Structure 1
Amino acid sequence: MKIRVSRNGPYIVTGSVPLMVMEISHDDEGDCRSWQKVREYPLQEQYTLCRCGHSKNKPFCDGTHAKVHFDGTETAGDEPYLENPTVIRGPELELADYKGLCAHARFCLRAGGIWSLTGRSDIPDARDTAIDEACNCPSGRLVLRDRKTGETLEPVLERSIAVIEDPARGEHGPLWVRGGIPVESADKRPYTVRNRVTLCGCGRSRNKPFCAGDHIGH
């Protein structure tokens, strides 16, 4: 399985990667709580996904990027934001916050926010909520480590791609790449393989090919 970024064009997905649509579910207080799969596309060995945001056949590419002269220049470079995350050390959990990866899915804001919860991680409810919030973060911005065991607390994810939708806010989010699928630049340079990555699908990201939350408000 592999995803290749084409120059000023779509993502080329090979290796029979499952593709689905996942919606963010909210609780009665309006907080993001869980993911719900609402659609699964027929499995294909190869397909292309829209990167410019203008396809009339989303999530698939329909060639519109050429008509709108889409500038898909990749700006993520050597991914410097992965080198020095902000680290918050609580009594039982340690949070690594890779701010440059934020896709604004907002799972991290419940119950005072994951940053506060990490600081109170000796309280069982706070610890459990922090872990739940980190594991629901689709971009991998928020990564928790158990300070006692040294274990990184990552969710187990099927190797797949999910189109993120937030119907409650009317937002169409990025492409959630799950399970450590390699992503390769148009110059055939591999990006860091991570368990969860969000790729820009609106064409506006300041950190192409990755989502930087620039779909919010559009």
Structure 2
Amino acid sequence: MEKFNVQPGTKVAPDRFHITVMEEGPYLVYGQPPLKQQFMLPNREGEIWYYKAGKEYATQDEPTALCRCGASKTKPYCDGSHVHTDWDPSLTASEEPLLDEAESFGGPEVALTDNREYCAFARFCDAKGQVWNLVEEEGERARDLTIREADRCPAGRLSAWLDASHPHEPHFEPSLGLLEDPQRGCSGALWVRGGIPIQREDGFVYEIRNRVTLCRCGQSSNKPYCDGTHASMGFRDGLPGKPEPDGEEW
């Protein structure tokens, strides 16, 4: 059996699950993972703080083709628009493990790693004074906030470490999310959770990670991963659904 890179803290999904990134086309999803909208919502202070699920979309076709050019009129599914739209499908992301190029931040209670190349502009890291400041503080509150904010980074750009070999990772079943950002009035990445392998059409398998965000707007400079460009361009997928904030607070 071929050996793949697996990020520490990741449980690889069962064999039936995987995603193939077509060289000039969509994401082909295998294994029928559940696919739901995931709204990123603020607390009463206006800080992005929690997720709330929205509408579920079918993944019963094998494979299910999901749009990655941003132009499909049947989002989240591919309708062939990638053939005619003006976009660059080039897969330019590093083939190296995420942690190899990550910065490390040590603290008295917990450590933090950060690879900015994978930022999906979710902004969970900004709450309560920013995670890079929190990690340097002493006390249970700072530790818990550091872990909470790192865990909610959908891209896995951030990881909290309780010791040198075991990152704190949230548990996810193999599943997909369509990130929605009502605060910015835009739609975000395809959120891949639970150790689902992602491979190119040529067979290369990217590092398998518990949390990954894939570009849906077609304009990322780090494809297949999201780099937050959807926010600056105001990408909207046009999908219905707008759950009201719950006022969840710390």
Whole-angstrom distance in 2 between the partners of 1:134 and 1:60: 30
SS in 1 for 2:135: helix
- 2:93 equivalent to 1:66: no
Query: Where does structure 2 lack aligned partners over 5 or more consecutive residues?
Result: 1-16, 234-250
- 2:218 equivalent to 1:203: yes
Among 195, 198, 215, the residue aligned to 1:183: 198
How far the C-alpha of 1:81 sits from its partner, in A, is: 5.1
More contact order relative to length (CA 8 Å, sep ≥ 6): 2
Among 76, 85, 105, the residue aligned to 1:88: 105
Contact 2:87 2:219 in 1 (8 A): no
Question: How many residues are treated as equivalent by the alignment?
Answer: 216
Match of 1:110 in 2: 127
- 2:23 equivalent to 1:7: yes
SS in 1 for 2:144: helix
Match of 1:78 in 2: 95
Among 146, 159, 184, the residue aligned to 2:162: 146
Query: Where does structure 1 lack aligned partners over 5 or more consecutive residues?
Result: none
How far the C-alpha of 1:70 sits from its partner, in A, is: 3.8
Give me the CA root mean square deviation.
1.4
How far the C-alpha of 1:108 sits from its partner, in A, is: 0.2
Match of 2:181 in 1: 166
Contact 2:195 2:209 in 1 (8 A): yes
Partner letter of residue 214 of structure 2?
L
- Percent sequence identity is 44
Partner letter of residue 38 of structure 1?
G
How far the C-alpha of 1:69 sits from its partner, in A, is: 5.2
SS in 1 for 2:176: strand
- 2:61 equivalent to 1:54: no
How far the C-alpha of 1:173 sits from its partner, in A, is: 0.2
Contact 2:36 2:57 in 1 (8 A): yes
**TM-score, length-normalised on structure 1?**
0.95
Contact 1:13 1:47 in 2 (8 A): yes
Whole-angstrom distance in 1 between the partners of 2:35 and 2:143: 32
Which consecutive aligned stretches of 4+ in structure 1 deviate over 4 angstroms post-superposition?
none
How far the C-alpha of 1:216 sits from its partner, in A, is: 1.4
- 2:114 equivalent to 1:97: yes
